[in-house]
Amino acid sequence: MAEKPRPLVAGNWKMNGLTADLAEIAVIRDALAGALGGPDIIICPPATLIAAAAQLCAGSFIAIGGQDCHPERRGAYTGDIAAEMLRDAGASYVIVGHSERRRDHGESDVLVSAKAEAALRAGLKVILCVGETEAERAAGHAPDVVARQLEGSLPSAPHGDSLVVAYEPVWAIGTGVTPTPNDVAEMHGFLRQRLAARLPESSDVRLLYGGSVKADNAAELLHLPAVDGALIGGASLKAAEFLAIAATYR
């Protein structure tokens, strides 16, 4: 059995955050300065704050990520952002395939895979999201749905270290409802098997859980053997709550 990878706690700010909110990132940076042995930390602010956040975190071990990228390097794509631009602004990760983009922007697995490829080409690491809706779970299709999303959205031949997969059941996002630890363990075990079948180096791929993670449920959801960390939405916006979640790994 391969050694468990270092845990990862990532914050997805979604469409939240103005310049004044960079102060939260500074609090997180200062609180974690010199804290060896904790989890890896990534913050994915909106694109407008990436360069400033990266500057704030330069020299710290907090990495900055984007929330989406376009598959092309450049061109006539009004409003879009290339992976190279995220990298240029100081990001080292990017989220692709978040359910809000799949739902609100009609993103298919093929498109998500192309975005993941673009991210790797630009030297970014990829946080690939998968997760079933409530109706899909109720119909007993959750494993099929996440397996199809995973297999359809993976970039070809990622190095294990360049890929993170986040299991985010859609019905748990922003609702305060979470799966049971048993359900999370089961789905993560299933995803781990699927990854191993597809990628030889997948033992380095970290499998995050996301969906209503808060300081008061973090310990029971994140310390399962099959879980390597968390992707946090609402609770990542305030430094104190985010730090309390990260502290469960100390």
Interface contacts to ligand 13P, rule CB under 6 A = 12, 98, 168, 173-174, 210-213, 231-235
241 is catalytic: no
The active-site residue out of 24, 107, 136, 168 is 168
Conformation bin of residue 17: beta by default, left when phi > 0, alpha when psi is -120 to 50: left
Q: Are 112 and 137 in contact (CB under 8 A)?
A: no
Pairing relation of β-strands 8-12 and 93-96?
A: unpaired
CB of 78 to ligand 13P, least distance (A): 25
Q: Please, what's the b/e burial string for 19-39 (b: 16 or more CB within 10 A of its CB; e: otherwise)?
A: eebbebbeebbeebeeeeeeb
Q: What angle do CA 114, 117, 119 make, to 5 degrees?
A: 110
- Helix or strand or coil: residue 13? coil
CB of 127 to ligand 13P, least distance (A): 9
Nearer to ligand 13P, 177 or 196 (CB): 177
Query: What span, in angstroms and rounded, lies between the C-alpha atoms of 159 and 199?
Result: 9
Nearest CA-CA partner of 40 in 17, 65, 22:
65
CB of 167 to ligand 13P, least distance (A): 11
Nearer to ligand 13P, 121 or 238 (CB): 238
Nearest CA-CA partner of 115 in 87, 164, 82, 90:
82
3 is catalytic: no
In angstroms, how far is CA 45 from the centroid of its own chain? Answer: 12
CB of 74 to ligand 13P, least distance (A): 27
Nearer to ligand 13P, 69 or 231 (CB): 231
CB of 185 to ligand 13P, least distance (A): 19
CB of 66 to ligand 13P, least distance (A): 13
Nearer to ligand 13P, 84 or 126 (CB): 126
Tokens of 56: 């704030």
The active-site residue out of 98, 107, 136, 241 is 98
Beta-bridge mates of residue 41: 9, 62
Q: Which residue minimizes CB distance to ligand 13P?
A: 233
Q: Please, what's the b/e burial string for 81-113 (b: 16 or more CB within 10 A of its CB; e: otherwise)?
A: bbbbbbbebbbebbbbbbbbbbeeeebebebbb
Nearer to ligand 13P, 123 or 174 (CB): 174
Nearer to ligand 13P, 41 or 84 (CB): 41
- The residues annotated as belonging to the active site are 98, 168
